[in-house]
Amino acid sequence: MNKIKLNKPYLVLLGAESNPTYAKTGLGLVQWQPGLVVGQLRFRGCKVNLNVPDMSINEAVKKGIGSLIIGVAPIGGAIPESWLEVIEDAARAGLDIVYGLHIKLEDFPAITAAANKSGAKLINVRIASDNLPVGTGIKRSGKRLLTVGTDCASGKKYTALALDQAMRENGMNSTFRATGQTGIIIAGEGIPIDAVVADFISGAAELVSPDNNDDHWDIIEGQGSLFHPAYSGVSLGLLHGSQPDAFVVCHDATRNVISGWEHYSLPSIQECIDMHILLGKRTNPEICCVGISVNTSGLPTKEREQYIKNLTKETGLPCIDPLIDGCDKIIKFINKKA
């Protein structure tokens, strides 16, 4: 697995991003490593706010910041041209540049020259190893839970982190397994599944969660969605390679269509459960859904509570917003089934 060691603390570059959906790296870092995010760098028109001080490169250097982290993951993983000068300035000032895009900053001569001169490192966490194996489908020891979604950016990473934290607080043996850029930055290791050549996705997923003790849970961060017209392939490979004993469906309560692909409607929660069981049984016949994780931040309090109640009644499964309700209901359900 990729292992990284970052120069702390961090300044997060948000650019002019207006949609929080695409700023999930910055938002995730603030949520799960709040003490390490010291500032944010925003351009005019930026509507995303991490609720940390706005800061220039010069101010960041004076504050002792070690890394500029690109906190936005735009569609296609490209980098806006307006960012290049700021990234070059940061590299020239000696800040490491940490990013998880499909492009390589080494392809920009001015940025590379600035980094070489100052000694700054260009750290791309979205590069997968070249020697990944093809999936075997062979059953591994230990237990696995995969977070899946009705759409991209639906809370899979947040839910996995929250479940891992809650399990450990309840005395269970668990490990968060990162498969995306933000998760890898938080965990310090993982494999960026969406950067893996298609034939090797399931093999990479097997490496992410290797053999373990019988009572150990790997909580695997999901990617994409089986229902996404662009990213379903990575989701299927991750599902087959993870061989999950359990999965949690993640959903945004305010969303009715695929984000960025509004001509596609979202599946129902039950359709999502049924599809994952149907396809997941190929590598783990015992796969089952153990809960629903819902992002209800866009709902009024009373409407939120009724939404959770209705969904619990409809599915017969524990339904929670992990950042409001915690994950104890799902953990109790898992332990009851064991």
Q: How far is CA 160 from the centre of its chain?
A: 9
Superfamily of domain 143-337: P-loop containing nucleotide triphosphate hydrolases (3.40.50.300)
Q: What is the pLDDT of residue 337?
A: 80
Q: Do the Cβ atoms of 2 and 27 come closer than 8 Å?
A: no
Q: What is the pLDDT of residue 124?
A: 92
**What CA–CA distance (Å, rounded) separates 180 from 161?**
12
Q: How far is CA 224 from CA 179, 232, 269, in A?
A: 11, 6, 16
Q: Each residue's pLDDT tens digit in the chain (338 positions)?
A: 778 889 999 999 999 888 888 898 999 999 999 899 999 999 998 999 999 999 999 999 999 999 999 999 776 667 778 889 999 999 999 999 999 887 889 999 999 999 999 999 999 998 888 889 999 999 999 999 999 999 998 999 999 999 999 999 999 999 999 999 999 999 999 999 999 999 999 999 999 999 999 999 999 999 999 999 999 999 999 999 999 999 999 999 999 999 989 999 999 999 999 999 999 999 999 999 999 999 999 999 889 999 999 999 999 999 999 999 999 999 999 998 87
Question: Is the peptide bond prior to 9 cis by the omega test (within 30 degrees of 0)?
Answer: yes
**What CA–CA distance (Å, rounded) separates 209 from 93?**
38
What's the pTM value of the predicted model, to 2 decimals? 0.92
Q: Identify the burial level of 320 via C-beta atoms within 10 angstroms of its C-beta, where 0-12 means exposed, 13-18 middle and 19 or more buried.
A: buried
- Residue ranges per domain, the chain? 2-124, 143-337
DSSP string for 120-136: --EEETT---S-PPPP-
Q: How far is CA 179 from CA 4, 144, 237, in A?
A: 14, 14, 12
Supply 192's token pair: 């960026």
CATH number among 3.90.950.10, 3.40.640.10, 3.90.550.10, 3.40.50.720, domain 2-124: 3.40.50.720
Q: What is the pLDDT of residue 75?
A: 66
Task: Judge whether 2-124 and 143-337 match in fold.
Answer: yes
Nearest to 258 by CA among 148, 152, 149: 152
Q: What is the pLDDT of residue 3?
A: 84
